[in-house]
Structure 1
Amino acid sequence: MEELYITSEITLNKTTDERVSPIPTNTEFFTYDQHVAKKVINFQLEGEPLDLSETNVILGFYFVNADCSFLLESADGSVAIEDAKQGKVSVMLPNYMYAYSGQVLVYVYVEFHNGQSLDYPVFSTQFQESWIDQKLDEMASFYVKRFEDLREAVKEVIDKSNEQLFQLQQKVEKIEDKVNETNQKIGELGKLKKMYSNSIDFGNYDYSGNANLLPKITAAHFTSGNGATVEDGPDGEIIFILDGSAQLTKFNTSMRLPALQNGKRYTISAEIMLHEGIEGDASNIRLTTNYLPGGQVMLATDRPTPTSTNSWQTIKGTQIATYATTLPQQWYVVLQDVTASSRIKGKISLRNIKVEEGSIATPYQPNLLVEPYQMSKISLNENLANKEQNFPISSRQYLVYSAEMIEPFIADQTYTLTLKGTKLGPQSFRVYTTGPNSTSNIGDMEIVEGVADTWRLAFTPSEVNLNGSVSPSTLQIYQFPQATMGQATIESLKIEKGDIATPNISEYKYFGEGLKDSSNPNDYSWDVTPEYINERISD
């Protein structure tokens, strides 16, 4: 029989007019309309047909509800140019589009062989779930569970009418095909995204906001200072009992927190409760992140409303981190009454302390980069660092670390180096490859947000770096500059292939699989990794 098509045609005219929204085509395709949905596009430039003789036409399909996309091109034949002089093309919508229900935005581009290109107006179309797909699970379940009964029914049908049997077999085969096709699509979707973690106790948090760059803050972060005693309460609450003996200033400089990058904007936020019966002026209390030397304040919240008691209120503040002169050596948090003469008595509670990148305070969530999670979107890479090197390393020398990797460097292979350690504020951890006859400066390591005292560098050694070296697998780390060197430590070191760092741990306990590329761990289905099971069996 002659092939049939459901054709939707649109004319796109490229003008100098500004586009503010996609062009609605008011067309719908149903998920069961397979091999028949055809989209025809007529290209015009300033009202005249566009000559497509020496062009590549690209159509980008974006699925609004699923947040995914793909491209079709005339260069690979998936877009057919039907009339080049009249600017007419057509495209058969591929079958995998029919697993989707909702709005599709189509982005249209034309690339000319002379290097020029045109960006055409975006238009939209709609996919609706057909009746048979809505009932597919129910029909398939009935078919599987009642197969034996169906076989007996088929025998009866054979006795009554061979024609009826033929029609029934056709229907069954059609259902089987749909079941197999749907299962295949589900299987493909299930392989899309993975995530790894050492804990799956993610809690009922809103992970749609910015990542938390602080570990869990507890009473242990406020053991020094004056004016109060501190203890942990339920559900992450930190309770301050103010005794009125001195100005409230509570901190602990030994609890080292992640560093903030110079020149970036951050926001600090927390929830605070002033309990009923508090005595004194509590209107000048604030939470800050400070750094040594000097106890410099970098981020500070606004102050609570003193008349609001026995209820949680949010305090927050935003600032660009700037420390061009006095460079930080370590970070910590402070709860302080900024009025030196103030003496407050009573109880104050604090919870959900967060530092995040940007100028907006988003809902609290735990820091997934640190214990117990140490989360990553890829499985662990092998650590290529020298296995015989003992850590920690403590040195006041210019050369802090020098050791052979377990294999030589490969030219044009990207490596990621992650170091956990400390140094003086003005110093940098500077990395060199190869040995004494051919040392090459690879670069200075940069701080890692969200992890305390951690530095990282991704680099790609070239043939020039490696030529002439008597030791092409040596990696060296200096504290730079030499003139101001001081005490430096390296607690751990990981060298791995690729440009994505993974934690310096021996195994992951859990892996998750999800349908979309998400940073929300609750979007994944979690299971125990085979490596963790094998390790427990060996133990």
Structure 2
Amino acid sequence: MASSLYNLALDFSKELNYTKAIMARQGDKGITVTVKPYLNGLQMDTSGGTFTLKGTTPSNRYVDSVATSVTSEEVTFSLDGTFMSEAGYYKHCYVEYRKDNQILTTQDIIFFSLGVSDISQGQADEYVSQLEELIRKYNETFDAFMAETKGRVDSLNQQITDLTGQAKTLQDKLDALKEEISKLGNLQVMYSNSIDFGNYDYSGNPNLLSKLSYDLIENQNTSAGTLSKGENSFKYNKISAETEGGVELYYKRRGIANWLPSNKTLVMTVKLRAGVDYSPADGKKILIRYRFVDNGTGKIVLDLPINSNSITQEWKEFSITGTTPTFGPQAYHPWIQFRAQDGILGEIEMSYDIKIEEGPTATPYQPNLLVEPYNMCREYPNENIADPKVKFPIESGDHQIYQGYTEEELMIGQTYTITLKGTKPASQTFVAYNHWTARLGELKPVDGLTDVWSLTFTPTKVVAMPKLFRVYQYPRSTVGACQIDWLKIEKGKTRTPNISEYKYRGIGMRDSNNPYDYVWDIEPEYVEDNLATDIKISEITGKANNYTDGKVSEINSQLTASINEVDTTAKDAQTKANANATAIDELDNKIDERINDTATTAFYGAQGEVSNKTKVAEYGVGTGYTTTAVGETHFERQSNGYVKCLKAGKYSISAQIRVQLGGKYASWLYTNLYKDGTSVDNLVSYGVDALQNRFAASGNIVTDLEVNDVLNMRTEIGVADGILQFTSCRTLVLTRLSD
């Protein structure tokens, strides 16, 4: 590649900058980078300091280059082949300035070194030349834009920050079409599906309530008053002084307000004003209450009484502080109640800007960013491993509401989080299970959301069907109509929204819930999935023109051409990929070998074995069984039902036994796995006076086996009245884990 010259304008405040790009080829020499240094938008004093261009290569190797020339207006770096010693995007590249004890750094520069290609030199030069031209024009466009913007603004403080922030967002969108830039230092990350945050003051505490709307308000007594729409408000006209009247908020045949956190000090703030015909009554109040139903009983959490004489024709805020109880699994039906006591007449207007927040002191109103359209979250959505074949919504009045098979096996010791959006009767609880014998826990309401329930669990026991997942409603004796709109199961203890992707990513310098503390761009994964077409590029650049007076259109055609060229290169690469078929076949053979090493043998459907009505029975796999295997079969059934190991190793052994008890009952029952006549471990144990008739139980153990080891089960019961009428092993699954 020929020698290249790059002219960059960089601001060491990191506030007034646009990201720059340098593209070279691996091993190139004679690259000259000229930097015009600024500090807070003003030309920087370069005297007495040292400028160094520093970088981190794709393999995490540190490289640097000290400036070869420093003048009052610019700094020059001459890069040798050492700086371009590796191919790919450099993880970091920036300019450092040192003077005495002062150290300043610029934002990261995109630094890309093209690798040595196996295409011809002529093709390589042409391709690289086009990319270099694109980057040069790209930088020239934004350099011109910065100069023009600085000439128009009246203030170098807020106005320059706003305009350059918008331009940075545009450039980040274009950068995302190539590859995500590595994060810097300890920057904070936030995700959102909307960046239309409105003109709200987010300096206070987050709002735990969703935005109220007219369709979520119901008049419960039309003889006492009438309801009408206002502007971002509702109007309640009290027409009877004889009775109390009012409306229910966040209500649609039932309460659907957002859940509040348990055992927290909260503040509720509302805004009211009176109509021209409003008539208060001495000693009478307007009552605003957050309520819910707990196991069938109505409860008041926050109770705000407002003296009717304190309401005027100007908007006025009223607040109340309270402490929430523990919201249990049977908590239900949260809503806000508006009541005007008897004696009060006329119109009262209430703003939709209702806020409930943590803490003892009220802060300015802001919308709830946890809900639509934002779904704001610090974590990118985890993969949903719930059964994709299950169709929603599910409406059921049965004990079992949901059954599916997870895309991965549930593992003992792995932490998972299940979240569902659904409704249930007040008396009922959502409970998660693997199998009905493997209870995982009760789902509880999620703070700040409506009808959303969640549980974080770590399985300590998994049955022979490790992908099985069920949700029941409890108690069984009071089942009622339930609905599940969606269900998500994810690895880890963090609940993430039930969405597949985020549109926007925010980067901030400090930990904050204020969206204006972050610089927002299009999330790179969203770009990869949605923007790699000419139409989508035109859509994004069209929006970007709003911030650049149409200047981005100048590079749109070049960007599209570049993408088309990359697409052509990718098609050419397919021919080379076909040459790897032999290597892939070899890999398949190795995979087959691995499958055989970790094979599973299963015996199903065995008949019962009569034990001659004794208290002890030793047995194996009964008659009438079928055998399945994944990979090689590592076990065989002998004539007496016992199974013999054919390959040594560490095995996971799961069994389901079925027992028929004769007589009254048995006070205890144990089933152990035996190897060559010696007990290995306990599979099933019961120790209560409740074992009667026929029942089934499952268990799992992990043990080492040698070739020709013979396995069987031994079941024993207690109490003289109890006898084993018959026992059987209905399912025996043996999985080889390792050597």
For the aligned pair, the TM-score class normalised by the smaller chain equals 0.5 to 0.7
1:482 aligns with 2:476: yes
Q: Find out whether 1:511 has 2:505 as its counterpart.
A: yes
321, 324, 331: which is aligned to 1:321? 324
Q: Under a length normalisation based on structure 1, what TM-score does the superposition of the two structures give? A: 0.61
User: Are 1:535 and 2:538 counterparts?
Assistant: no
Between the aligned partners of 2:327 and 2:470, the Cα distance in structure 1 is 28
Aligned residue type for 1:461: P
SS state at 1:329 partner: strand
Query: Is the Cα–Cα contact under 8 Å of residues 420 and 484 in structure 2 kept in the other structure?
Result: yes
Does residue 310 (structure 1) correspond to residue 307 (structure 2)? The answer is: no
1:269-418 pair list within 5 angstroms: 269-281=269-281, 283-292=284-293, 296-304=299-307, 306-322=309-325, 328-337=331-340, 339=341, 341-418=342-419
Answer yes or no: is the 8 Å Cα contact 2:206–2:513 preserved in 1: no
| Alignment match, 1:182 | 105
Equivalence for 1:86: none
Kindly provide the CA deviation profile for residues 54-111 of structure 1, in whole angstroms up to 9, marking residues without a partner as x.
xxxxxxxxxxxxxxxxxxxxxxxxxxxxxxxxxxxxxxxxxxxx999xxxxxxxxxxx
Structure 1 residues 349 and 379, CA, compared in 2 at 3 Å: closer, same or farther?
same
The answer on 1:139 being equivalent to 2:31 is: no
**Aligned residue in 2 for 1:451:** 449
Q: Which has the higher contact order (CA 8 A, sep 6+)?
A: 1
**TM-score of the aligned structures, taking structure 2 as reference length:** 0.46
Tell me the CA shift for residue 373 of structure 1: 0.9
The residue identity in structure 1 corresponding to 2:106 is N
Give matches, 1:77-88, under 5 Å: none
Judged with a 3 Å threshold, the aligned counterparts in structure 2 of structure 1 residues 342 and 139 are, in CA distance, closer, same or farther, namely same
Question: Which of 459, 462, 465 is matched with 1:461 structurally?
Answer: 459
Partners of 1:416 and 1:457 within 8 A in 2: yes
User: 1:201 corresponds to which residue?
Assistant: 196
Question: Residues 183 and 399 of structure 1: is their aligned pair in 2 closer, same or farther, counting only changes over 3 Å?
Answer: same
Shift of 1:275: 3.3
Contact preservation (8 Å) 1:247, 1:344 = no
| Equivalent-residue separation in structure 1 for 2:426 and 2:504 (angstroms) | 37
| Partner residue, 2:689 | none
Q: CA deviation at 1:141?
A: 10
The equivalent of 1:4 in structure 2 is none
The C-alpha deviation readout for 1:242-280, integer Å capped at 9, x for no partner, is 334753311153151123455444332211112344124
**Residue 225 of structure 2: aligned partner:** 228
Deviation (angstroms), 1:205: 2.3
Find the aligned partners of 1:494 and 1:167 in 2 and give their Cα distance. Answer: 58
- Change over 3 Å in CA distance of 1:307–1:418 after alignment to 2: closer
1:60 is matched with: none
Residue matched to 1:420: 421
CA distance in 1, matches of 2:230, 2:412: 55
Q: Distance in 1 between matches of 2:310 and 2:432?
A: 55
Partner residue, 1:123:
none
CA distance 1:138–1:484, shift in 2 (3 Å):
same
Report the Cα distance in structure 1 between the residues aligned to 2:186 and 2:327, rounded to whole angstroms: 47
C-alpha distance in 1, partners of 2:331/2:397? 19
* CA distance in 2: counterparts of 1:166 and 1:328, whole angstroms: 71
Distance 2:328 2:502 in 1: 41
Q: How many residues align?
A: 379
Pairing of 1:230-249 with structure 2 (within 5 A): 230-234=227-231, 236-244=232-240, 247-249=244-246
Contact 2:69–2:75 under 8 Å retained in 1? no
Counterpart-to-counterpart distance in 2, 1:326 and 1:166? 70
Residue type of the alignment partner of 2:306: R
The one-letter amino acid paired with 1:178 is: Y
Question: Are 1:272 and 1:351, in contact at CA under 8 Å, matched by a contact in 2?
Answer: no
Do residues 214 (structure 1) and 133 (structure 2) align? Answer: no
Answer with 192-201 or 220-229: which moved more: 220-229
SS at match of 2:257: coil
Supply the distance in 2 between the matched residues of 1:324 and 1:532 (Cα, whole angstroms).
37
Kindly provide the CA deviation profile for residues 486-507 of structure 1, in whole angstroms up to 9, marking residues without a partner as x.
Answer: 3332221001112211111232
Q: Is the 8 A contact 2:328 2:444 kept in 1?
A: no
1:251 counterpart = 2:248: yes
Select the structure of larger CA radius of gyration: 2
Amino acid at match of 2:320: G
Q: CA deviation at 1:374?
A: 0.8
CA contact (8 A) 1:414 1:499 kept: yes
Q: Which amino acid aligns with 2:452?
A: T
Alpha-carbon shift at residue 390 of structure 1 (Å): 1.2
Does the CA contact (< 8 Å) of 1:274 and 1:311 recur in 2? Answer: yes
C-alpha RMSD over aligned residues: 3.9
* Residue 415 of structure 2 is aligned to residue 496 of structure 1: no
1:407 deviates by: 1.4
Worse-matched range after superposition: 320-329 or 287-296: 320-329
Deviations 1:502-532 (A, max 9, x none): 1112322222111122111111111223444
The match for 2:544 is none
- Name the counterpart of 1:15: none
Gaps of 5+ in 2: 1-11, 15-36, 48-67, 78-93, 110-181, 537-739
Displacement after TM superposition at 1:197 (Å): 1.0
Q: 1:265 to 1:398 in 2, by over 3 A?
A: farther
Q: In the TM superposition, what is the alpha-carbon distance from 1:388 to its structure 2 partner?
A: 0.6
Over 3 Å counting, the alpha-carbon distance change for 1:177 and 1:212 in structure 2 is: closer
Q: Distance in 2 between matches of 1:327 and 1:518?
A: 33
The structure-2 alpha-carbon separation of the partners of 1:379 and 1:166, relative to structure 1 and needing over 3 Å to count, comes to closer
The percent of aligned pairs where both chains have the same amino acid is 33
Inter-partner Cα distance in structure 2 for 1:214 and 1:387:
31
- Post-superposition offset of 1:296: 4.2
Shift in CA distance, 191/185, structure 1 to aligned 2, threshold 3 Å: farther
> Residues 487 and 166 (structure 1 numbering): CA distance in 2 closer, same or farther, change over 3 Å?
closer
C-alpha distance in structure 1 between counterparts of 2:234 and 2:304, whole Å: 17
How much has 1:218 moved relative to structure 2?
2.4
Residue 176 of structure 1: CA displacement? 6.4
Question: After superposition, what is the alpha-carbon deviation per residue over 1:445-499, rounded to whole angstroms, capped at 9, x for unaligned?
Answer: 121011111111112234xx23xx3211111222233333333322210011122
Question: Which moves more between the two structures, 316-325 or 261-270?
Answer: 316-325
Q: Deviations over 1:199-248 (max 9, x none)?
A: 111123232333212111123332322343334433x3333333347533
Aligned to 1:268: 268
Structure 1's 290 and 484: CA in aligned 2 closer, same or farther, altered over 3 A? Answer: same
The alpha carbon displacement at 1:182 in A equals 0.8
1:17 is matched with which residue? none
Q: Is the 8 A contact 1:302 1:316 kept in 2?
A: no
Task: Give the conservation status (yes or no) of the 8 Å contact 1:191–1:513.
Answer: no
One-letter identity of the residue aligned with 1:309: T
Amino acid across the alignment from 1:425: A
2:384 & 2:412 partners in 1: Cα distance?
18
> Conserved in 1, the CA contact under 8 Å of 2:329 and 2:430?
no
Distance in 2 between residues matched to 1:498 and 1:324, nearest whole Å: 23
Is the Cα contact below 8 Å between 2:192 and 2:503 reproduced in 1? yes
Q: What letter corresponds to residue 398 of structure 1 in structure 2?
A: H
**Cα shift readout 1:141-168 (whole Å, capped 9, x = no counterpart):** 99xxxxxxxxxxxxxxxxxxxxxx9997
Residue 342 to residue 190, structure 1, CA distance change in 2 (3 Å): farther
Relative to structure 1, the CA distance from residue 523 to residue 223 in structure 2 (aligned partners, 3 Å threshold; closer, same or farther) is same
Using a 3 Å threshold, how does the CA distance of structure 1 residues 324 and 405 change in structure 2: closer, same or farther?
Answer: closer
With 375-384 and 257-266 compared, the bigger mean Cα shift is at 257-266
Q: Give 1:399 deviation, angstroms.
A: 2.3
Query: 2:515 corresponds to which residue?
Result: 521
The verdict on how the C-alpha distance between 1:515 and 1:258 changes in structure 2, with shifts beyond 3 A counting, is same
